[in-house]
Amino acid sequence: LPSGTIAYALYDPTPGIEAFRTYFISPDGSNLRQYALIDVSEPALSPKADNDYPLAVRTWEEKSNPRTILTTDFSSRKQTAVAKYWEDAQADWSPTENRIIFASQRESDRIWRLYTAWGDGSREDNLSREGQSPTFAPDGKRFAFESCDKYGTSCGLWVGHLYDSPESGYGLILEDRSAKSPDWSPVDEK
């Protein structure tokens, strides 16, 4: 894809289709093209140019792909399921390695929790932290997310680190229950 490409998804309610479609477009509005897989949404583009699977998407269609998070190339010929549950969603790529962070409600209590997985599907880790809408920092180790403390108070935006425990390495940066969907700038601390 050309540098600066934007990926987005929208739902096509046309009778007989009724599915998500994912598209790529240039920032000036040119070069609009549809992604080959139908019924995928929540696209996340890898910042690493050498990634064999540079696109992560959430799948919805069950005949050819069970609901999960897939990583894939732009032609959709190479596909790997990196998360294995229907409830896995909201993927974001690490800017430093072939890893995604995502949220899931897969546990029986239906609480959103954070996980990471390698882009080739080889390893998944439970970060042992409740939260959703995670986004990696430029260092590829820290991440921001929306959550509350373990008592259900102090809700808002939090920052965590892949290698810290929830008790010691997570901090509330904005206490505002209405703060949603953070996205960390890819450049420094800006």
Structure tokens at 60: 């919805």
- Cβ count within 10 A of residue 81: 16
Provide the pLDDT for residue 189: 59
pLDDT digits 0-9 by tens, 125-161: 999 899 999 999 999 999 999 999 889 899 999 999 9
Q: Look at residue 67 and tell me whether its pLDDT is greater than 70.
A: yes
Residues 6+ apart with CB under 8 A from 116: 99, 100, 101, 102, 124, 125, 127, 162
pLDDT bin (cut points 50, 70, 90) of residue 89 is very high
**Overall size of the chain counted in residues:** 190
The pLDDT tens digits of the residues spanning 3-15 come to 788 999 999 999 9
- CB-based contacts of 7: which residues, under 8 Å, 6+ apart? 22, 23, 24, 35, 43, 44, 45, 55
Q: What is the distance between the alpha carbons of residues 140 and 100, in angstroms, rounded to a whole number?
A: 10
What is the share, in percent, of the chain residues with pLDDT greater than 70? Answer: 93
Q: Coil, strand, or helix at residue 7?
A: strand
| The pLDDT of residue 26 is above 60 | yes
Tally Cβ neighbours within 10 Å of residue 32.
Answer: 10
Determine the average pLDDT of the residues in 157-170: 82
Q: Which CATH architecture has domain 6-175?
A: 6 Propeller (2.120)
Residue 75 binned pLDDT confidence (cut-offs 50, 70, 90)? confident
Q: Is the pLDDT of residue 62 over 70?
A: no
55, β-bridge pairs: 45, 72
Q: How far is CA 181 from CA 32, 125, 146, 147, in A?
A: 25, 22, 7, 11
The pLDDT of residue 170: 86
Q: How confident is the model at residue 164 (pLDDT cuts 50, 70, 90)?
A: confident
Higher pLDDT, 170 or 177: 177
Query: What are the extents of the domains in the chain?
Result: 6-175
Beta bridge partners of 71: 56, 80
Residue 161's nearest CA partner among 140, 181, 182 is: 140
